[in-house]
Amino acid sequence: MGEGAFGEVRLCQHISSHEKRAVKYIKKDMLTHEDKETILNEVRILGEMDHPNIVKLYEFYEESAYYCLVQEVCSGGELFDAIVKSGKFKENTARILIKNLL
């Protein structure tokens, strides 16, 4: 699905439900100690969240070389890319943009 500075995201399918999921693989050797703490804190917070406008974290695995986050698939592009393309915009425009991305 994509690659970034710290890893990649792959599309997968849950075996029993057949739902599509995104698995984010984050390379541990690319992270500072502070980065690791930030990721683990984010995982803890996402695990407690249940809101339609926040990506759902289904599972988290720690392997020897990677952190693996199994999340819902979000299509529609990156918010950052939309902001750069549009320049600055008002709150109402942001609200519409967020709604369309989800």
Q: With 80 as the cut, is the pLDDT of residue 71 above it?
A: yes
Q: With 90 as the cut, is the pLDDT of residue 1 above it?
A: no
Question: What's the confidence (pLDDT) of residue 100?
Answer: 65
CATH of region 2-75: 3.30.200.20
User: Are 23 and 69 spatial neighbours (Cβ–Cβ below 8 Å)?
Assistant: yes
Confidence of residue 57 (pLDDT cuts 50, 70, 90): very high
Helices in 1-102 by DSSP H: which ranges?
A: 33-48, 79-86, 91-101
Q: In what order do the strands lie in the sheet with 57-62?
A: 2-3, 7-13, 20-27, 66-72, 57-62
Residue in this structure with the two tokens 């974290």, named with its chain if needed: 57
Q: With 80 as the cut, is the pLDDT of residue 101 above it?
A: no
